[in-house]
């Protein structure tokens, strides 16, 4: 096998492993859920600017997702 290809495969395996270690898929705790609900109301009061932000964000995270440190996924 070519050395460059082997090196690329090893780097990909390492990066995938580090992503798995950082990913925690669990329900948000009380403070995160409360913070998320408060900032959703703030976003609604400010002419839905937080939702407009989500359209422009590459991960589609709005203000209440960012402040609550949450990510919504399709499960």
Q: Return the pLDDT at 39.
A: 92
Burial label for 62, CB within 10 Å (0-12, 13-18, 19+), is buried
pLDDT tens digits, 10-66: 555 555 443 333 456 677 788 888 988 999 999 999 999 999 999 999 988 899 888
Greater confidence, 7 or 28? 28
- pLDDT beyond 80 at 9: no
List the domain boundaries for the chain: 3-67
């Amino acid at each position: 096998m070519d050395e460059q290809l082997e090196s690329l495969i090893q780097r990909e395996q390492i990066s995938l492993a580090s992503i798995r270690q950082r990913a925690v898929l669990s329900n948000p705790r009380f403070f995160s859920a409360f913070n998320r609900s408060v900032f959703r109301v703030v976003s609604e009061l400010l002419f839905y600017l937080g939702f407009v932000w989500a359209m422009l964000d590459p991960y589609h995270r709005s203000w209440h997702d960012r402040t609550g440190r949450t990510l919504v996924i399709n499960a």
